[in-house]
A and B are shown apart, each in its own frame.
Chain A
Amino acid sequence: MVKITIDGRPIEVTESTTILQAAKLLNISIPTLCHHPKLTPFGGCRLCIVEVKGMPKPVTACTTTVSNGMEVTTYSPYLEELRKTVLELILSDHPNDCMVCEQAGSCKLQDLAYDYGIRENRYEGERRIYPNRDGNPFIERDLEKCILCGRCVKVCDEVQGVEAIDFGYRGFRSKICTNYEEDLECEFCGQCVSVCPTGALTGKQWKKKGRKGGQVEVETTCPYCGTGCNITAHVKENEILKITSKEQTWNEGWLCVKGRFGYRFVQSPERLKRPLIKRNGKFEEASWDEALDHVARRLSEIKEKHGADSIGGLSSARCTNEENYAFQKLIRAGIGTNNVDHCARL
């Protein structure tokens, strides 16, 4: 264990703790942009600089681990001036788009610009212009708004293991690129969208569906598989606008393409809400009792006539473990055949 003080307040933490993590334990907030608690530290935005007694110049809190006796100062006029310059530099290369940006209201950059009251910018200059848009169906990549924090690159590599994107070019032209700068072609898990602090990565499906105002957040569980990720449905006027997941869930906020983007079936007019029974060559709505009776009767007839092995059961990854257990029991013990399988085995 290591003893340090942050802004005069003592704390004892393990050796591998970063200054940023230690500060968080003390509820001291340090501005950050590129840092993400679940990803390896990057150290690119330079906003989290703090002063450490005895060090010749400020260090980044997100990358510096504590050492015994460290005395850290997180706020001083000098640090605030440096942070402000960094923000000015970021904003000098950022479209002034907040009025129409999807992310407004939940954008970390916007929040910081607000906190630091940045209106005039001493460093106006050329901006990166990227007219080409990505043609994929899920993810809007507006790289003019990208601040190159690297979070998307890291989540894609460290969490998703896909490595679909990486830094390309050098200097002012540096850019997050796909392979050969073609349209994104990946799992479309949208993890990158979920970690992007700005409006550079957003979901095409919820474009222009409204920003935060008027939405309610409904906590629920993803229906797609037995993993059961916790999700948050953002609902407005009884319509799901988007799905996100929170960092403090057991799935750490990570989701796959189905959980994140595959929610529109809920509102689909074609969605099955009641059982259908085919009568005279046409599907007709029926009650659950009718339907279950029908299935039970027909299965018994088939078993009687052709034997149990003429029946097979195929279960689904969308069911829970318990449901799948019950299902195979039904097929094996109830019907009496070993013809039972599961879609996830394919």
Chain B
Amino acid sequence: MQKNNIEIRVCMGTGGIASGGAEVLDAFRREIESSGIRASVRENCSTHRVGCRGLCAKDVLVDVAIDDEKVTYQYIKPDMVSRIVKEHVLENTPVTEWTVGEEYHNFHKKQVKVVLSDCGRLDPESIDDYIAADGYEAARNVFTSWTPEQVIAEMKASGLRGRGGAGFPTGTKWELARANVNDDKYIVCNADEGDPGAFMDRAVIEGNPHSVIEGMLIGAFAIGSKKGYVYIRAEYPLAVDRLRLAIREATERGFLGKKIFGSELDFEIAVKLGAGAFVCGEETALIASIEGQRGMPRSKPPFPVNKGLWQKPTVINNVETLANIPYIMRKGATWFASYGTEKSKGTKVFALTGKIMNTGLIEVPMGITLQEIIYDIGGGIEGGKKLKAVQTGGPSGGCIPADMLDLNVDYESLAKVGSIVGSGGMIVLNEDDCMVNMAKYFIQFTQEESCGKCVPCRVGTKRLLEIMERVTTGQGKESDLELLEALSASIKVTSLCGLGQTAPNPVLSTLKYFREEFEAHIRDKKCPAKVCKELIIYSVIEDACKGCGACLRACPAGAITGEKKKPHRIDPEICIRCGACFDVCKFKSVGRD
């Protein structure tokens, strides 16, 4: 009998591993090895560990592909494995009750995967997998038959812009570095990824580290660099391990090292671990950090392409930017430029989080509408609630109100409404989210992460935070709104680096679109979304209270008194507003106002 080709792929990104991916993979291997199953499927069955495919909420995700027929399972635990092997692998009848549902397919339908195309397909710990999928072909081509000028022209034609936040055209950056004649030039991959909630770059390195290395190789060829660095945060241990392994393997194959692909060119890559400072993602701070200094930005110019690492011309590119490059060189600039809008080409990876059904990592063509992202890919708002806003760009970005859903997601359109694409954070907010509180959260983040060098950012964001704290605790004054605006405007123009220059954005954009929420906090001392604790009053609705005493027992502060079968009472002076009574009351007799 003709044996089929069977591939089992287990998701083993950080999300997959956290859900038990390693155990599931082990279970598959054991099951197949044991009890003679191996013999019956013979050598045609292979098990693979693969990177994240985006929908971590449904981990552990497992693909079983028999020839080209792929079935995906969700929420797999080790004890489910033997049945899958028995029924599906051996008898070719998928266990339909465990397979993914419609939302998994919808989640992927409108996505276009370039950077993530091999994540979830290839084993990130095997260079052979990458090579089998045409990996390093683009680099080989470039090294053996292109000129640096041609590579730069191709990059410019593709329209690729930096994915690290600022959106600077990559080809132009390379051209500027190329023009600087110097024996020593550096190419640095920025894998600091400090935005709270962002994990695009982590997923790329965990899922396909070789694509980043190949991108760096091509970049090194274009600008004429012999040494590259990957600056990656130490909090990404799995990504660091896979990256190091990939560099080792690539070096063993001669893709890194001396006389690459038979050329006269050398290139090596060193890994530098960052200690988790958001500001170290800023390029001049990153340079200082690699040099062993405190990560503090300096004024530009001079720009890194002129005076960067060790004062030499340096190109700094984001992980996602670099991971795009092998695909662009393989399939051509025209192919890449066919995705996206006039000025924003290609695709962008977003970390879709918040009050959305399908949280996870998505890759979409630039220019897709918010509507499509939230409803078609994201599956709509959690719990059937009302969408309130979408926050993009993290602490440097802003919010987009629900009535702008037909907005295209690209650099220009988001900037026009006061937000940014940024590095790709996308937080969906619904009616239960307090916009003032959200803005306060981001200001708190930037304040804590400010490097302390310049006054407007170090002290100014502290004062912004204090005003926001006043507002959310009911101590806001009418004049605070103007003060917020005036101070924000000053911080934006006088801060030294991008951190301070963009720090007020979350405040400004919520003030712009949700001013009435600020006013409710200040004038009525009310938080419309019932998030700001100090503004909530819990009280027992006497008519509805059955006097069961559940709330009294649940209250950790001893704020509730009352006799059995008689209406209870909450002392607002003692109440710490934890909401335990509200949650525990079966008769909905605790009011929250």
Q: Pick the residue among A58, A64, A125 that contacts B494 (CB under 8 A).
A: A58
B496 at interface (Cβ–Cβ under 8 A)? yes
What is the bound-complex CA distance between A247 and B282, given in angstroms?
35
Contact A46-B462, Cβ < 8 Å, known A122-B483, A170-B449, A172-B447: no
Inter-chain contacts of B493 with A (CB < 8 A): 57-58, 82
Q: Pick the residue among B448, B456, B483 that contacts A170 (CB under 8 A).
A: B448
What is the bound-complex CA distance between A44 and B296, given in angstroms?
11
Inter-chain contacts of A123 with B (CB < 8 A): 459-460, 463, 483, 487
Contacts of B142-158 to chain A: CB distance below 8 A: none
Binds B, one of A87-95, A203-211, A318-326: A87-95
Inter-chain contact A46/B452, CB cutoff 8 Å: no
A136 at interface (Cβ–Cβ under 8 A)? no
Inter-chain contact A89/B298, CB cutoff 8 Å: no
Determine how close the nearest CB of chain A comes to the CB of B188; give it in whole angstroms. Answer: 22
Inter-chain contacts of A148 with B (CB < 8 A): 452-453, 458
Determine how close the nearest CB of chain B comes to the CB of A74; give it in whole angstroms. Answer: 15
Q: Pick the residue among B277, B299, B451, B466 that contacts A63 (CB under 8 A).
A: B299
Inter-chain contact A172/B458, CB cutoff 8 Å: yes
- The residue in chain A whose Cβ has the minimal distance to the Cβ of B497 is A43
Inter-chain contacts of A41 with B (CB < 8 A): 299
Q: Pick the residue among A64, A90, A122, A170 that contacts B459 (CB under 8 A).
A: A90
What is the bound-complex CA distance between A86 and B496, given in angstroms?
13
Inter-chain contact A174/B462, CB cutoff 8 Å: no
A237 at interface (Cβ–Cβ under 8 A)? no
What is the bound-complex CA distance between A172 and B450, given in angstroms?
8
Inter-chain contacts of A46 with B (CB < 8 A): 454-456, 494-496
- The residue in chain A whose Cβ has the minimal distance to the Cβ of B494 is A46
Q: Main SS of chain A's interface residues?
A: loop
Inter-chain contacts of A63 with B (CB < 8 A): 298-299
Q: Mark B436-455, 1 if CB is under 8 A from A, else 0.
A: 00000000000111111111
Give the tally of cross-chain contacts (CB within 8 A): 104
What is the bound-complex CA distance between A85 and B449, given in angstroms?
22
Inter-chain contacts of A82 with B (CB < 8 A): 490, 493-494
Inter-chain contacts of B447 with A (CB < 8 A): 171-172
Please tell me the size bucket of the interface on B.
20 to 34
Inter-chain contact B496/A170, CB cutoff 8 Å: no
Inter-chain contact A92/B277, CB cutoff 8 Å: no
What is the bound-complex CA distance between A57 and B491, given in angstroms?
12
Inter-chain contact A171/B452, CB cutoff 8 Å: yes
Inter-chain contacts of A89 with B (CB < 8 A): 455-456, 459-460, 463
Contact A170-B450, Cβ < 8 Å, known A44-B496, A85-B487, A125-B462: yes
A167 at interface (Cβ–Cβ under 8 A)? yes
What is the bound-complex CA distance between A7 and B490, given in angstroms?
23
Inter-chain contact A86/B487, CB cutoff 8 Å: no
Q: Mark A71-98, 1 if CB is under 8 A from B, else 0.
A: 0000000000010011001101100000
Inter-chain contact A169/B454, CB cutoff 8 Å: no
Inter-chain contact B494/A126, CB cutoff 8 Å: no
Q: Pick the residue among A43, A93, A126, A171 that contacts B454 (CB under 8 A).
A: A43
What is the bound-complex CA distance between A44 and B299, given in angstroms?
9
10 A–B contacts from the bound complex (CB under 8 Å)? A57-B493, A63-B299, A64-B299, A82-B494, A85-B494, A89-B463, A148-B458, A170-B277, A171-B448, A173-B452
Q: Which 10 pairs across A and B sit closest by C-beta, in order of nearness?
A: A174-B452, A63-B299, A89-B459, A172-B462, A85-B490, A123-B463, A43-B299, A171-B450, A125-B466, A46-B494
List residues of chain A with CB under 8 Å of any chain B CB: 41-46, 49, 57-60, 63-65, 82, 85-86, 89-90, 92-93, 122-123, 125-126, 147-148, 150, 166-167, 169-174
Not counting A44-B454, A89-B455, A125-B463, a sample of 15 additional A-B residue pairs whose C-beta atoms are within 8 angstroms of each other reads A42-B453, A43-B298, A43-B299, A46-B455, A60-B299, A64-B301, A89-B459, A90-B459, A93-B459, A167-B294, A171-B447, A171-B462, A172-B452, A172-B458, A174-B453
List residues of chain B with CB under 8 Å of any chain A CB: 277, 279, 294, 296, 298-299, 301, 447-456, 458-463, 466, 483, 486-487, 490, 493-496
